[in-house]
Structure 1
């Protein structure tokens, strides 16, 4: 197996994102659907949704637990809010799948899972939404945990899914120990990507992005400030926004990891190596991506 390719500005500038014309409209930039947190960490929904827009998506839909629909409508005025069934803990219920399938079908990309805490409900909701049809998907956090029970649902998407596990989540997905994963994250990611026919991001200070055919990229950015609440939600949103714009799952994952890391680096220089907030990453996404497009 070949060594992973280092993610650099030169690499990304030679692999440009799909072109959006200056006179393009919202439809040209794609529609993204966000299915994320419930009552306890509702801010994760905002972080993910705004990150998708900052990455360039043109239209935003948010599937929200009914009790959170109105607050989220005020918090994210750019979004169309889709109230859906919720659990007694205030998270999206598996029964919400029936209400959200039509929105998923008319989206260009979707992200499921950021901030979800109820692994059983999130896993079952995800499985009900994975029927082999629909747009490319980003699965994050608890949304990934249902996959081991029915891996065929993931394989049916034939490479149109991006998974974003850290070492602990990778261990749960593969049945291996966290220590084994940490010792060789690239090998673990390659096995998982091949098994589920998905692009896998093994997250860490050094992140590996692996496609189902074993192609791999490596990006090292030991920015300790990114190890903060909500940071991963921003990454998931960036990737979904890039997918909505027409990037392939592998390209969206590679660009997403780079843009997220560079946003953190910019804040580290301006604010400090620790102490900046996930919400502050949002304002850095567009400048990073625009800088790549401009070659600066």
Structure 2
């Protein structure tokens, strides 16, 4: 499913109006009707229901005036509060405002202090609140009056339906600069917006419905829309079906280089994630002193001892052995639990520069590349990087706050600069490609905020590559399967869920998507 930025959506509207001759008032009418249809599914019958419509001066407010007309025609009791003066409303919005004015609907301008008591009383006794204040054109911090309205809406404890996007949410980034409406439902128009899937905007959206407002499909397909929302049907089309006559060699050979003294768990979870994702043969290469414990942890995984430093990390003397292991493998996953010794970091850079198979790079291997990302552009295959925001901050020189403020933009720029696939982890993981294409994940839950889940993701992505998926498809499918496994595991309780619980749930998640 495509997600359109505010600018792209404006261009789609412009083409529909100017080139296809669809009047803007028709699109506004269709938008309002779509919201009313959704209200019918929520609150039918609408007759005698009390609705409070909070409207702005722009087209989002115009949608609200259309909604008011149709609700009134169905016998609902409607009050409209306009944030500003009627005289400031223009265009198609003014057309619809004039219609409900002629109908005798109660339209109250919020222009002086005495009105606020009316707003509060209406909000308190309404059955439903309609947020038509700002829409996708909103940027920056809301005005004092809008903040006061948002606070009233959020404190009312009533169903709140946002038109297109909750007011206060940036449509492109999901960022909330001050206050935002906490909607229980959002009816987004034409195409979904990225900010409805990215936090904190996603938390404001509630139940999301995408409404068709009559825009010709050819206009949408003619646009270069590079934001995609990952859905189950997309992953079902990506995952290969295993032959009934398959043997382990056909399901891929995977090498994992991970672990150091005190961090054996990261190595084990990476290998286990790959195993549960279906990889056929896995070799876990780790410091020699860890081999015994890893062999016990991972009965089905082969282990290989590597030369190690006095501190129990992989030593640079192991470079050639790792490169040889990579050459005999379909994919190499490197990084979880490797530690921060400079000798190990130098080893990582040497391996990344020389490996001849696809790479999945995570954790301490990413930290080793800070300041050396130019190495990535020379990799023989498109590498997959899986940073969390802290690692992304170290790689880019940005603050963690800057990374999270616009996750799509940061991931996209990094993917382009590094010639790599960037999987920026977090609530709603973002997968970005060098050509600017971006995928936003929709699976997963807060129970995954625990140690080791990132290591599991590295293994899952690598395990899918081992089975023949391209690095592109494995990254997209891997993040969705990882989140869905988290959702399966959370059925037993989100708090206290562990990365091991998630890993065990991977086969069930994949079965739910593909049926194997």
Provide the TM-score with structure 2 as the length reference: 0.55
**Aligned runs of 1:132-281 on 2, under 5 Å?**
132-157=354-379, 160-221=382-443, 223-270=445-492, 272-281=493-502
> Which deviations, in whole Å up to 9, do the C-alpha atoms of 1:202-242 show, x marking residues without a partner?
11111110111111100134611101011111111101100
Structure 1 unmatched ranges of 5 or more:
none
Question: Unpaired segments of 5 or more residues in structure 2?
Answer: 1-223
Choose the corresponding residue for 2:352, options 130, 135, 151.
130
* CA shift for structure 1 position 158: 5.5
Q: Residues 181-219 of structure 1, C-alpha deviation per residue, up to 9 Å, x if partnerless? A: 110111111111111111001111111101111111001
| 1:5 matches 2:211 | no
Q: Which residue of 2 aligns with 1:100?
A: 322
Q: Aligned-pair distance for 1:69?
A: 1.3
User: Contact 1:45–1:115 (CA<8 Å) still a contact in 2?
Assistant: yes
Q: 2:505 aligns with which of 268, 272, 284?
A: 284
- 2: CA distance between counterparts of 1:139 and 1:167? 15
> 3-state SS of the aligned residue for 1:201?
strand
User: Larger Rg: 1 or 2?
Assistant: 2
Q: Does 1:26 align with 2:238?
A: no
- Distance in 1 between the 2:345 and 2:227 partners? 31
For normalisation by structure 1, the TM-score amounts to: 0.93
Query: In 2, Cα distance between the equivalents of 1:133 and 1:115?
Result: 20
Alpha-carbon separation, structure 2, partners of 1:103 and 1:194: 29
Deviation digits for residues 56-92 of structure 1 (CA, Å, limit 9, x no counterpart): 1000101110111122122212222111111222121
Separation in structure 1 between the aligned mates of residue 225 and residue 383 of structure 2, nearest angstrom? 23
2:442 and 2:480 in contact (8 A); partners too: no
Contact 2:371–2:395 (CA<8 Å) still a contact in 1? no
Q: SS where residue 468 of structure 2 aligns?
A: coil
Change (3 A) 1:238 1:158: same
State the alpha-carbon separation in 2 of the partners of residues 22 and 240 from structure 1. 23
* Structure 1 pair 88–26 and aligned structure 2 pair: CA distance change class (3 A): same
Kept in 2: contact 1:205–1:221 (CA 8 A): no
Q: Is the 8 A contact 2:323 2:355 kept in 1?
A: no
Structure 1 pair 230–148 and aligned structure 2 pair: CA distance change class (3 A): closer
- Match of 1:149, SS state, is coil
Alpha-carbon distance in structure 2 between the residues aligned to 1:130 and 1:201? 17
Higher relative contact order (CA 8 A, sep 6+): 1
Whether the 8 Å contact between 1:210 and 1:250 is mirrored in structure 2 is: no
**CA contact under 8 A between 1:159 and 1:212: conserved in structure 2?**
no
Q: What number of residue pairs does the alignment pair up? A: 293
Task: Look up the match of 2:126.
Answer: none
Q: CA deviation at 1:133?
A: 4.4
